[in-house]
Amino acid sequence: MTTRRELLCDTVISVLAAEGGRGLTHRAVDRAAGVPLGTTKNYFPTREALLRAAAERMTRLHAEAVARLRDTTPADVTPTRVAELYPALLRRAVLEDPAHLLAMAELYLEAVRRPAVREALGRMVVSNAEAGASLHRAAGLPSTARDAGLLDAYFLGVAVSLLALPADALRATGLDDPYALGLGLFRAAVPPTTDSGHRDQPLHAGRDEPGGHDGDRPAASGTCRR
């Protein structure tokens, strides 16, 4: 069951995504969460505390999602199947549920000027990278937190471009095929390994998991559009 604190943290993420950093206020969170005015300030007294709470909540949600995915991953999963999570994750982040991606981008901007937010963001990035590397190693990939962190950084830059740029710019720069992009990001950051002796088993990731998707490959000419 979601606690009041978790509800407020989730609402901070939603407000940050919808209104940007300038729109994140205690009153805005109170209104969006449907709680009495002053409630958010009781839990998170400063704006910096709101931003730290968003980073910590996103870290926790990501770790829980990766753990659920690990629990349902077949023992003989191949590196190929793990790689194919990333096109699905890119599609979801851009087309289906961009709130966390937008909130993440806002946190990066806030962290440039706010040391406390930078520290919270740093903890989130390291935690996410360690969780990603653990998932990769379950498929026999020699992945480290450094590899997974680089993949996450690549992913964030590409995903923000897909959200921000018009379709003609995406086509002109080769960013109009989210499936190929997702695989390319994975292959650019994660060391390969021999994939012999394994059967490809699908990872049954739901919408709450990193890479949750319906298993369909987007058409090569498809452009991510909001």
Annotated domain spans of the chain: 1-45, 48-226
- Does the structure show a pLDDT above 50 at 81? yes
Which amino acid, one-letter code, is at 140? G
Residue in 172, 160, 167, 155 with CA at minimum distance from that of residue 87:
155
In Å, what is the CA distance from 157 to each residue of 48, 126, 175, 178, 203? Answer: 24, 17, 11, 13, 25
**What mean pLDDT comes out for the span 51-61?**
90
**What is the tens place of the pLDDT at every residue in 106-162?**
999 999 999 989 998 999 899 989 988 988 998 899 999 999 999 999 999 999 999
> Left if phi > 0, otherwise alpha if psi is -120 to 50, otherwise beta: which for 34?
left
State which fold the 48-226 domain adopts: Tetracycline Repressor; domain 2 (1.10.357)
State which fold the 1-45 domain adopts: Arc Repressor Mutant, subunit A (1.10.10)
The pLDDT assigned to 153 comes to 96
- Does the structure show a pLDDT above 50 at 198? no
Q: CB–CB of 222/103 below 8 Å?
A: no
**What mean pLDDT comes out for the span 214-222?**
37
Same fold, 1-45 and 48-226: no
Residue in 91, 129, 125 with CA at minimum distance from that of residue 108:
125
pTM of the model: 0.78
